Structure 1
């Protein structure tokens, strides 16, 4: 649904993109990243906000013949805002939040707890409470310091997920140069939401799947490196098989 919403936006079907975005935000609170991403991309498409330095790099990459030697004193600004291009329809993607709002209303009417998804995170075993202890991943680093006495395989899994998150975020600049800063904003926000709420990176790996622009640029990079791409596919297939087997046997896979 997320990819579909962006696709419809690129095809200039703003109403349909907003409607599909609303359905997506109703599925998970992290869907707020989609609202921000759609809005950022629409403002970029309309020329309301732009990053001239990034945009110039994109033009050079897509059409190398357009490259010109930079003139001293002609350095473009980092951010440019053109209020004259701002239109009421540009804010339409904000209505995608209707999906999340409807879910909150449902929780309030059915269970008397509009933010049950936040309350559930404080349950015994999870104990995810907002604050510096969670934000700065104190428990994660405590596990590393006392490794392997606090669970070798569990801690190893946390490290893998932390590396994945850092790896995806490191592709943000490439995403911005290849597809536009609106997609880069989406990647950052879609990972920032779970990263802020996680105390030890547990579960971050699955949230990385939502950062599809990062996988697109990685796939493009691998396309020119056949042997490496084959190795990545084989390792991914092996990891998928092992994780599926572990899940079927009752192992905790998240």
Structure 2
């Protein structure tokens, strides 16, 4: 089940809903989960494909009519479409309580027996506590801290030579890493960029880290944005399943670059 399928799974009878409703849900997903400020007509069709539903005969017409509703559900400008603020808030409230919240809590609980690093345990326990108490903004921040701390540990323990060689090429003025605390002088994006260039982690993992860093930044910086269970679940499941559980200690026989 892909991310979009997981997202719509709790919505009863989703596949039989009228096209305008389905498009609005996809629009909300593109905004809130994929972090798109605007979306294009060409973004909507593939959403139908991902969940194995037939596309409307004319997606552009559906979008136009949503813009023309009174009050409008969508706004169009030179950069593309976006949900009207009222529609965006309404959809956040209408989306059902996620059945997958239980699975997300179980995923974090299951990690507690696998995480031995004391710092990581603190981040994990706080992420779990925040998620259980619906503090989704904080849960997003804490699960990022857990994943990023893990990434730094993997670099230091298994890939430091490769990291240093690439760092010297692209950021020669940054300090040499001789202890974990030296990473405090690095920006998170710099670390991800160096890892990508050195092929320490796969391009897919680096892309996930970049996207999730954007989400963390949205949650960590003061703003009026509301963060929901949907967004926290997506962040947690993606970082746990696609970063934490695939970038751990390398089994014997795997190459030193850890091309997961």
TM-score for both structures, normalised by structure 2: 0.31
Relative contact order, higher structure (CA 8 A, sep 6+):
1
TM-score for both structures, normalised by structure 1: 0.31
